[in-house]
Amino acid sequence: MFRVLVTGAAGFIGSHLVDALLARGVTVIGLDRRRLGEHALADENLAAAVSDPSFTPCHLDLATDHLDDVVKGCETVFHLAARPGVRQSWGSDFLDYAQTNVLGTHRLLDACVRQGVGRLVFASSSSVYGPTNRPSREDDPTCPISPYGVSKLAAEHLCLAYARRPDSQLSVVALRYFTVYGPRQRPDMVIGRILFSAYTGFPMTLFGDGSQHREFTYISDVVTATIAAAHLDVRATVVNVGGGASVSMRGVIDEASKVTGRQVPIKVVNAQPGDVPATAADLTRAGRLLGYWPTVGLHEGLARQAAWLVDLSRDRLATFTS
């Protein structure tokens, strides 16, 4: 890769991907609808990248702005831009989910086809599976139970449809990420909330009784799989990217207590609509196609995120916890 576009570049996963690509000598165009200098979290996430001459930030909205110029000349597009969050996707906010996750993806794909982009790597989600009782395989039925999951599945199908067009040279790898965590994680995500509660003593809201299981995937493993997907010799495929083990929420809280040496105060409330009982990834295809297997276990990943959180200054901490 010589020149690539990363959408959602100022986000949690996007900014880590940008840093990793720059470290490999790749020229990166970083597209985000958050304008640098006006959004504290975007500024923090891209603080290292903006000083690299191989990085060009680009303030655009996929749903409304002209995209051909930013796509032109890119070998690969890493499409990570999305409106995240299961619970917020119910109700009137779904308009933004539809515009950002579905319409924005459609407009980006059109631009990629017009400009002859060869590969698009799409950040999908384990939310497309819905409730399961065993590790999810890529050929399992999809039955999302939240509007967010529906929007990600629709965007995934759009990407694959464009790759299968007989007149398109675009190929697509859709990566179904399983609960990504690590430094720069969004403040509403569970591991960040657990660690913040451990260090501050403010109760962490636990939705449900804590028996629900999640497969947590450390950010560096996600970046490794995402870059590997750019080189995969396929026309259109879907691949799980998980952390290798599914852990109960109570188990995560206990592990965070061990890492921090502190108790995690919790406030139990009812389970929320759209939350599945468990997520778990079958990584057979990821191993076969990407040579992928997670290298950072939950204890080590929690320790790394905790160390990062402790090292933040007061002002920077407010950016990631507000």
Share of the chain above pLDDT 90, in %: 90
Domain that holds residue 237: 3-321
HEC-encoded secondary structure of 13-76: HHHHHHHHHHHCCCEEEEEECCCCCCCHHHHHHCCCHHHCCCEEEEECCCCCCCCHHHHCCCCE
| Sequential DSSP letters for 156-222 | HHHHHHHHT-TT---EEEEEEE--EESTT--TTSHHHHHHHHHHH-PPEEEESSS--EEE-EEHHHH
pLDDT of residue 301: 98
Query: Which residue type does 54 have?
Result: S
Q: What is the pLDDT of residue 50?
A: 97
Q: What's the CATH number where 72 sits?
A: 3.40.50.720
- What is the Cα–Cα distance from 128 to 155, expressed in whole angstroms? 11
Instruction: Tell me the whole-structure pTM to 2 decimals.
Output: 0.96
Respond yes or no: is residue 148 known to be catalytic.
yes
pLDDT for position 1:
67
Task: Indicate the SS3 state at residue 292.
Answer: coil
Q: What is the DSSP letter of 86?
A: S
pLDDT of residue 52: 97
Number of domains in the chain: 1
Element (H, E) at 10: none
Other CB atoms within 10 Å distance of the CB of residue 308 = 15
Which pLDDT value is given to residue 242? 98
14 contacts: CB under 8 Å, gap ≥ 6: 6, 7, 8, 30, 32, 45, 78, 80, 81
* pLDDT given at position 230: 97
Amino acid in the structure at residue 227: I
The pLDDT assigned to 175 comes to 98
* Average pLDDT of the chain to the nearest whole number: 95
Identify whether the C-beta of residue 124 lies closer than 8 Å to the C-beta of residue 156.
Answer: yes
Low-confidence ranges of the chain (pLDDT < 70): 1, 314-315, 317, 322
The pLDDT of residue 322: 67
pLDDT at 167: 86
Q: Which member of 97, 129, 148, 177 is catalytic?
A: 148
